[in-house]
Amino acid sequence: MEKEIEVERGQYILKQGEVGRGLYILQSGALEVYKDEVLLSVIIHPGTFFGEMGDFLGKPRSCSVKAKKASKIVFVQNDDMKEMIRANPDIGIKIIKTLASRLERTTQKLVDTKREETTLLKVRKQKYTHWSK
């Protein structure tokens, strides 16, 4: 069963560590995604889904999501989500593409972080070598 929900600015939609019971779809507004109280991203595009990862993996929610401003979202329960995908495989394809895109962005961020780390280590090594002469 789909359920439309209106949330106010600052209101949590889901919290890290909770057991998931379905996914959410942004209708309007803006949402912030946090992991361990670190802001990871902002969801602003209508149709963007979130909260699916824990359900697919059978694990507690990995992030918290709260409203950056008043927002409208739709909640889809697990069983309804599975039935929706069975009835309309294009939804399953959209979910797979979205997850692949998220993985690609995360991988690029990891590569960028490793590059920065390597650069910092080289600079430190150069400074140490310079000072030790």
Query: pLDDT per residue over 86-120, tens digit each?
Result: 998 998 898 899 899 989 999 999 999 999 998 88
pTM of the predicted model as reported, rounded to 2 decimal places: 0.79
- What does the CA dihedral 62, 24, 53, 67 come to, rounded to 10 degrees? -30
Classify 1-87 by CATH class. mainly beta
Separation of alpha carbons 66 and 11, rounded Å: 5
pLDDT digits 0-9 by tens, 30-74: 999 999 999 999 999 999 999 988 888 889 999 999 999 999 999
CB count within 10 Å of CB 124 equals 10
